[in-house]
Amino acid sequence: NAGVTQTPKFRVLKTGQSMTLLCAQDMNHEYMYWYRQDPGMGLRLIHYSVGEGTTAKGEVPDGYNVSRLKKQNFLLGLESAAPSQTSVYFCASSYARGGEQYFGPGTRLTVT
């Protein structure tokens, strides 16, 4: 039982490049979330999903897109990376909305 996994762990992008971050969970959770963590800003919710095929915007969705084609996977895409998107990205999942969230180990992204 791996819990929540994220790939890749580290990535460096040039401004304007695109990439996709993958999150996978093996707990059969309906809810999945993408956060970014920046110094002094805590965790900010980017997008979330309440089930396969559904996504919704969080607090800071601009510049990101997401997809939930399979229940166990939640993808976060950056179409045209900007230096302001340099951050640590965390994926999480939960059985119920407002319930305990299980976090992945994070992806450290640097955009130069």
Partner 1 sequence: GEDVEQSLFLSVREGDSSVINCTYTDSSSTYLYWYKQEPGAGLQLLTYIFSNMDMKQDQRLTVLLNKKDKHLSLRIADTQTGDSAIYFCAESIGNLIFGKGTKLSVKP
Residue ranges binding partner 1 (CB under 8 A):
4, 33, 40-43, 45, 48, 58, 90, 92, 97-106
Which one, 13 or 32, has the nearer CB to partner 1? 32
3-class SS string, 19-86: EEEEEEECCCCCEEEEEEEECCCEEEEEEEEEECCEEEECCCCCCEEEECCCCCEEEEEECCCCHHHC
Least CB distance to partner 1 at residue 5 (A) = 10
* Least distance to partner 1, CB of residue 15, Å: 26
Between 1 and 40, whose beta carbon lies closer to partner 1? 40
User: Taking the complex as a whole, how short is the minimal distance between the CB of residue 73 and partner 1, in angstroms?
Assistant: 17
